[in-house]
Structure 1
Amino acid sequence: MGNIKLGLNLEFARYENGSFDWAMDQAAEIGYKYVEPMVHWGRELLSAAGYFHSRSMLDDPLILRNAAEDRGLSISSLSSHAPLAKPEVAVEYFRQAIRYAAEAGSPMIMVDDGPTPSWTTEEENYTLMRYTLKEAALVAEPRGIKIAIETHGPYTATPERLDRIMNLVDSPALTINLDTGNSYLSENDPHEWLEAIIGQVTHLHAKDIALDDAKRLRGKVRGMLGCACGEGVIDWKRIVDTLAAADHDVVLSVECGTLDAAKKSYTHLSALIEAVGQ
């Protein structure tokens, strides 16, 4: 039996106009042991001014590592999304993110299918995504870094389409981050989906969708920040039971829209994890 590691994606800071350090402080104060920071290329004014939580990959990665360690936190993944079917952007972005992750102490990076070129066919997009993932895997494998493909866009919107992406490249570096909220919004049953692919899942975005949002937006959008876990449509006991039965560790990383939701999610999920003996 593997361990369920409860973490917090720092996206909640976006609606609080919070900085990276503020978000890390809040995660530690609430009681989370794992965090999922965002990284970006170049320089970005809002982050530099303290109104956004992302860190530039031009900064020393030890800043991020030390920020986690000083607060008793571990990094579960780096949120480093770039469009898989646009290798002119994604290949170098992922290469840098993987090297950055290795120094920052993150075991994986988070990616998704993202927007595709406006002029390519579906088959061409799969070829482009294969190229991107292969180039990323060549950098990730020798460093022991995982590439977690998140359920987020049209090419990861169903179990069949995600499976096709996972089979584009034969690499031990490829793994899955199932986003429960995004999966639900794409008109799937995330509980059944997780149960079917648990062997490939090492990271899970614990995202709940409020009932009103579910009624309005399911089938119309594929992603949004969630409400507090336990206040929406997801059966978290079933999710936790599935993770507890896995033969490997999985990070359950809360992705919600506010600090209050992060606190409520911690309370709700901690009780369920404790109930399964972890």
Structure 2
Amino acid sequence: MRIGVSSYSFASSISAGRLDLPGAVDAAADLGAAHLEIAAAELVDDPALVETVRSRAEARSLPLASYVVGADLRGDDVEEQIERLTAHLGVAEALGIPRIRHDVLPWAWREESPEEFEAALERIVPAAREVCDRAAAKGITTTVENHGMGINDPERLIRLISLVDRPTFRATLDVGNFLCDAADPVLSVRRLLPFAEVVHLKDFRIREQSPGPGWLGTLGDRAILGTVVGWGDLPLSTIVRDVVASGFAGPVSIEFEGPEDDQFAVGEGLRQARALVEGVAA
């Protein structure tokens, strides 16, 4: 199993000015990541930075496995969204990245009725198909993640994949995000694994009530807080065992989003993840 890291994991250091994106490439390589996933929407406006990241990754022999960007394909500006995603496809192509994960809804959006969700889906499907076809022409697979409050349920994501109906439209499976939708993470991972192109490995502390600021309320009226992989309450040993048993051969990326020091958290998370995989093989 190839265990790498998302550049999103270094968000605290980047926002504080302790790292830039090329520095995140170095940090990931220094910590022993097998690859780096790029989550940096600003690249689309900075060709010089794109080349710097590409050359730095090449110099560090660090594969760039996936590219992550937001999008909202349900609104009146859907054509603009498609063109913006097409520009991001150009960035992914320039970086030599074979996969791009794009959202289809804003993170916090949740329908007020079943009819509202169906109406959103009617707009999302042809737009996602158009982006997928443009990506396929460049040899790039597109994915949508179980992410946010509207498309987190595995059945919704599987339905979207079925409706888009393209072999290069698949899922980025985040093992922890199912908690936002009050879904069982073990059962949800098992359900979505056959459709997965990328796996995000993360961990959360889980409480029945919020202990204070920084905790996220879920649709199941619980509270979660990101933490180092292996330090939280997700049943990661079971989840990793299921991923290994499925024969999944794509990239597995640590995605850290907790309050701990991010460079420490990534290094420790990589160590914990490797130990989990080794435990399956033992």
TM-score by length of 1: 0.84
The separation in 1 between residues aligned to 2:131 and 2:103, in whole angstroms, is 13
Contact 2:37–2:68 (8 Å) recurs in 1:
yes
CA distance in 2, matches of 1:63, 1:221: 44
The CA deviation at 1:84 is 2.5
Q: How does 1:159-238 map to 2 (within 5 A)?
A: 159-212=154-207, 215-216=209-210, 217-219=217-219, 226-238=226-238
Relative to structure 1, the CA distance from residue 127 to residue 34 in structure 2 (aligned partners, 3 Å threshold; closer, same or farther) is: same
> How big is the shift at 1:277?
4.3
Match of 2:47 in 1: 59
Contact 2:69 2:103 in 1 (8 A): no
Distance 1:118 1:198, change over 3 A: closer
Match of 1:96 among 87, 93, 110: 87
Deviation of 1:137 after TM superposition, in Å, equals 1.3
CA pair 223-211 structure 1, distance change in 2 beyond 3 A: closer
Q: Report the AA paired with residue 59 of structure 1.
A: P
Which residue of the partner structure matches residue 40 of structure 1?
Answer: 41
* Letter paired with 1:255: E
Instruction: Tell me, in whole angstroms, the C-alpha distance in 2 between the residues paired with 1:150 and 1:99.
Output: 20
3-state DSSP class of the match of 2:204? coil
Gaps spanning 5+ residues in structure 2: where? Answer: 211-216
* CA–CA distance in structure 2, aligned partners of residues 194 and 92 of structure 1: 32
* 2:213 alignment counterpart: none
Which residue matches 2:270?
266
Question: Cα offset for 1:157?
Answer: 2.3
Instruction: Label 1:240 to 1:145 Cα distance change in 2 as closer, same or farther (>3 A).
Output: same
Which residue pairs with 1:256 in the alignment? Answer: 256
Q: How many residues align?
A: 261
Structure 1 residues 236 and 169: alpha-carbon distance in aligned structure 2, compared to 1, 3 A threshold:
same
Percent identical: 25
Shift of 1:219: 2.4
Cα deviation, 1:151-190, whole Å, max 9, x if unaligned, reads 1133312122212211221101111112122111221112
| Pair 210,75 (structure 1): closer, same or farther in 2 beyond 3 Å | same
The 3-state SS of whatever aligns with 2:137 is helix
On the 8 A contact 1:77/1:107 being kept in 2, the answer is yes
Verify the 8 A CA contact 2:171 2:198 in the aligned structure 1. Answer: yes
Q: Is structure 2 residue 11 aligned with structure 1 residue 14?
A: yes
1:143 match: secondary structure: coil
Residue 210 of structure 1 aligns to a residue in which SS?
strand
Give the distance between the partners of 2:179 and 2:171, measured in 1 at CA. Answer: 16
Q: Secondary structure at the match of 1:241?
A: helix
When residues 89 and 7 of structure 1 are mapped into structure 2, their CA distance, relative to the original with a 3 A threshold, is farther
Write the letter of the residue equivalent to 1:262.
Answer: V
User: Which one-letter code corresponds to 1:265 in the other structure?
Assistant: G
Residues 113 and 153, structure 1, Cα contact 8 Å, conserved in 2: no
Matched, 1:157 2:145: no
In structure 1, how many angstroms separate the alpha carbons of the residues matched to 2:223 and 2:23? 25
After superposition, what is the alpha-carbon deviation per residue over 1:91-114, rounded to whole angstroms, capped at 9, x for unaligned?
012212223212211111111232
Deviations 1:220-239 (A, max 9, x none): 79998821011112122222
Indicate the structure whose relative CO is greater, using CA pairs within 8 Å and at least 6 residues apart. Answer: 1
* In 1: Cα distance, 2:241 partner to 2:218 partner: 25
Secondary structure of 2:9 counterpart: helix
Can you list the C-alpha shifts for 1:118-139, whole angstroms capped at 9, x where unaligned? 9993332112111211110111
Is 1:84 matched with 2:73? yes
Deviation at 1:80, TM superposition (A): 1.4
**Inter-CA distance 229–248: structure 2 relative to 1 (3 Å threshold):** closer
How far is the alpha carbon of 1:145 from its aligned partner?
1.0
Q: Does 1:146 align with 2:141?
A: yes
